[in-house]
Chain A
Amino acid sequence: MIDLQNLSVSIHDTPILQDVGLSIAPGQVIGLVGESGSGKSMTALAVMGLLPRGAKASGQIMFDGLDLNGLDDDALCSLRGRRISMIFQEPMTALNPVQTIGDQVAECARIHRTISRDGALRLAAEKLTRVGLPQDRVPLDRYPHELSGGQRQRVCIAMAIALHPDLLIADEPTTALDVTTQAQILDLLKELVAEEGMGLLLITHDLAVVAGMADRVAVMRKGKIVEQGETEILFRTMSHPYTRQLLEASNHAPAGIAQPSAAPLLQVNNAIRDYPLPRTRLLGPAPQFRAVDGVSFTLNKGESLGLVGESGCGKSTLSRAILGLEALQGGDILLNGDPISPDMDTARRAGLQVVFQDPYGSFNPRWKVEKLVAEPFHLLGARPEDWRDQVRQALAEVGLPGEAMTRYPHEFSGGQRQRIAIARALILRPELIVLDEAVSALDVSIRADILDLLADLQAKHGLAYLFISHDLGVVRNVTGRVLVMRAGQIVEEGETETVFTTPQHDYTRNLINAAPKIPPAWRTA
């Protein structure tokens, strides 16, 4: 139905896509896999005719015998939303926050068809029911902020399928969602493809997602498709080294998990953290939300402890309490037997550092790297005489050259920035580093490097890690013990392998089952 031939795109003479060839038949799911910057989103935008300004496309985008490349904007507009539609990664920003979901789904119909407002709303209701948002539970007059992330993505899907498109492009549709929600959304997409007979171009960085979804897979790298074929055959043969590399990286386990000593480093005893909610009445106390509800655990010296849970389960709130940034409403947290609180002395604070998820947001963009890495020296009162040497040494430990010191954070790639963040966490030689989704935003190959680096540093300095993540695969590969958190409570705790192979709690079982997996049989070859 759609057939890309020798599609090349360049932006201001920089080649972005080179000779991309891809075809999608009705009722077929094509997985397009690649790391960030590989050109997979650009391919989608080229099909939609939504390339950024300054981009030049050559080659052919045949859609039912019509070449989309070269069509004018009016012609493309009449196709977009009607015959080709798209869903995006971030359902919050893809929806208009001040319009009801009913209006947004109906709008698509009203643009392309002469249909009354009521008729369009009826159609919207039907489509929303189809994607699992029945009227009695989610009425049309809801606004996006009143829905959960998964529900918002369902609204986006309802908008995309409102007019029975022939081709649906889904650009990382589940990357921003929790694993259990991801599984539901993927199931829904699969059903829709089968029922409506549309083609689905599923763009993702996650090989496991395409393994369960796609009929055919194309692997993209640096603007070129390096390999494509039937999903199972592709996974079994892995003829291109890059595909193999991707798969290995996505499942990378650093050599050897550190053996912790028996001495406890961090003890959390019955920790309770309440947040005030917005007042519902003018006078009287604001209602409270209990984000962390009686959590207790111990982290030994030199240990890697995993903390997994879905968004909103309280894991980040717990991490802020452990870092001594927010006070507890009950229980206590001890580091080497000394209590942690927002007003603890600086020496105790020096034993704790953190690496965050977002490699872009975790640095002051106006500071140079040397100043950024040296920031924790504030805890010592004054920077030591040889602070520059210490910064250089810390950067060397994370594999960055000394000349990085005088540069600004935006000059580095995501992986390099995460190394800078680790250098900053390392500079005072803390005993515990909290890794709050520290590798979640990275591409798989870079993630593998960072995990290796963390393992090396742990072995060298006897660091303890609290590894907070929603990614079960990574936690399984790098931690010795794991805690599963849900709605503010720890529901399961134990040796990582034991928890993953024989989960005791229903919730843990759900989480593990929901995670997309490549069938083990495919890997034997």
Chain B
Amino acid sequence: MTRLPVQLWIGAALSTSLLAAVLISFLWTPYDVTTLNIAEKLKAPSASYLLGTDHFGRDLLSMLMEGGRISISVAVLAVGIGMGLGVPLGLMAAANRGSWLDEVIMRGNDLIFAFPSLVIAILITATFGPSATNAIIAIGIFNIPVFARVARGGALTIWTREFIMAAKVAGKGKIRISVEHILPNIANLLIVQGTIQFSLGILAEAGLSYVGLGAQPPTPSWGRMLADAQTMIYTTPRLAIAPGLAIVAMVLGLNLIGDGLRDLLDPRIRRARE
């Protein structure tokens, strides 16, 4: 049995503990985050409120647990949309390099790239109404060209290798070669890009929620918590630090997992470590 990379353990520990807290929130939170209790507002951390309360007297820990739902699911789904559509498009473009299909896909990509993503996301949420679903779609669409480009660029270098020629001699078609040979060899690129896009997704959701176009009150999200805390950053910095740390920990954990997976998936590095 091969030993797992250390960063994978640390990353997994960080992100699973956060994820566990978020999952527990579906069953139980210390306090209900939708009821306001002005009498208890801005309480410092104590035994009853582990992280204290905000300016409406809501328990910060409960908000953090529930707020992660939106943040994480928006980021996960947006990366999923980007990978699920972008990678096949990029592989297709690379397999048919120089053909009209390649041109259509890549010029379509350029078209999406040509628009500032946050502005379009605002446009989409403004047109279809502000909601978490629309935020997912908006962020996800802008992930497609990112993954398509990374996939195509990585795939093009793999296509020139001799083992691809050997696969062609074995009678394999473009689709099969793309899936069997190209995809595993660009997986490391995609994983790294995936973790980066995931972090950007969390940040984009925070941005959209910040301007009021993401999760709607009273549903908390890490982004909205940050936005709400902004006015009290000097008096009660804890309100901003808590969701900020949650975002940092999640992003860091996922990046570490990404690095670890990349090493784990590469037999050359894996053997070297044994």
Binding site for B on A (CB under 8 A): 320, 323, 325, 346, 349-350, 352-354, 356-358, 361-366, 375-379, 408, 410-411, 421, 424
Contacts and interface: CB of A to CB of B under 8 A. Distances in A.
A212 B271 CA distance: 44
A369 to B, nearest CB: 11
A349 B169 contact: yes
Given A366-B185, A410-B268, A356 B165 contact: yes
A361 B184 contact: no
Nearest to A346: B171
7 contacts: A325-B165, A353-B169, A366-B265, A376-B171, A379-B171, A410-B267, A410-B271
Max chain A CB contacts within 10 Å: which of B169, B181, B266?
Answer: B169
Nearest to A368: B267
A364 B167 CA distance: 10
Nearest to B98: A276
Nearest to B187: A366
Nearest to A350: B171
B171 A378 contact: yes
A352 B166 CA distance: 11
Given A349-B171, A361-B161, A365-B267, A375 B166 contact: yes
A361 B163 contact: yes
Contacts of A376: 169-171
B172 A378 contact: yes
Interface in B245-274: 265-268, 271
B230 to A, nearest CB: 46
B185 A364 contact: yes
B172 A364 contact: no
Given A364-B185, A379-B171, A408 B166 contact: no
Interface string B62-78: 00000000000000000
Interface of B: 161-163, 165-172, 176, 180-181, 184-185, 265-268, 271
B169 A364 contact: no
Nearest to A276: B98
B163 A379 contact: no
6 smallest beta-carbon distances between A and B, as pairs = A362-B162, A356-B162, A408-B267, A361-B162, A376-B170, A366-B184
B166 A362 contact: yes
Contacts of B161: 361-362
B271 A408 contact: yes
A354 B169 contact: yes
B162 A375 contact: no
B185 to A, nearest CB: 6
Contacts of B162: 356-358, 361-362
Contacts of A375: 166-167, 170, 172
Contact of B163 (A325, A352, A362, A377): A362
A360 to B, nearest CB: 9
Contacts of B167: 364, 375
B165, B185, B268, B271 — which one has the most chain A CB atoms within 10 A of its CB? B165
Q: Which interface residue of A323, A364, A377 has the most chain B CB atoms within 10 A?
A: A364
Given A408-B267, A408-B268, A410-B267, A323 B163 contact: no
Nearest to A349: B171
A2 B166 CA distance: 48
Contacts of B172: 375, 378
A410 B271 CA distance: 9
A352 B169 contact: yes
Contacts of A354: 165-166, 169
A325 B169 contact: yes
A365 to B, nearest CB: 6
A48 B266 CA distance: 35
Contacts of A346: 171
B169 A411 contact: no
A361 B162 CA distance: 5
Nearest to B161: A361
Contacts of A363: 163, 166
Nearest to B182: A364
Given A366-B184, A408-B268, A410-B267, A325 B166 contact: no
A363 B162 CA distance: 7
A107 B268 CA distance: 39
A366 B162 CA distance: 14
B107 to A, nearest CB: 16
A378 B170 contact: yes
Contacts of B171: 346, 349-350, 376, 378-379
A411 B166 contact: no
Contacts of B169: 323, 325, 349, 352-354, 376
B267 to A, nearest CB: 4
A424 B184 contact: no
A164 B84 CA distance: 60
Nearest to B167: A375
A207 B238 CA distance: 75
A287 B200 CA distance: 45
Given A354-B165, A361-B161, A361-B162, A366 B170 contact: no
Q: Which of B162, B180, B268 has the most CB of A within 10 A?
A: B162
A411 B268 CA distance: 8
Contacts of A362: 161-163, 165-166
Nearest to A408: B267
Nearest to B181: A364
Contacts of A320: 165
A259 to B, nearest CB: 27
Given A364-B181, A366-B184, A366-B185, A356 B268 contact: no
Given A346-B171, A366-B185, A411 B163 contact: no
A353 B172 CA distance: 13
A366 B168 contact: no
A235 to B, nearest CB: 37
Contacts of B163: 361-364
Contacts of B180: 364
Contacts of A361: 161-163
Contacts of A349: 169, 171
A365 B161 CA distance: 11
Contacts of B184: 364, 366
Given A352-B169, A362-B162, 18 more contacts: A323-B169, A349-B171, A356-B165, A356-B166, A361-B161, A364-B163, A364-B167, A364-B180, A364-B185, A366-B184, A366-B185, A375-B166, A375-B170, A376-B169, A376-B170, A408-B271, A410-B267, A421-B166
Contacts of B165: 320, 325, 354, 356, 362
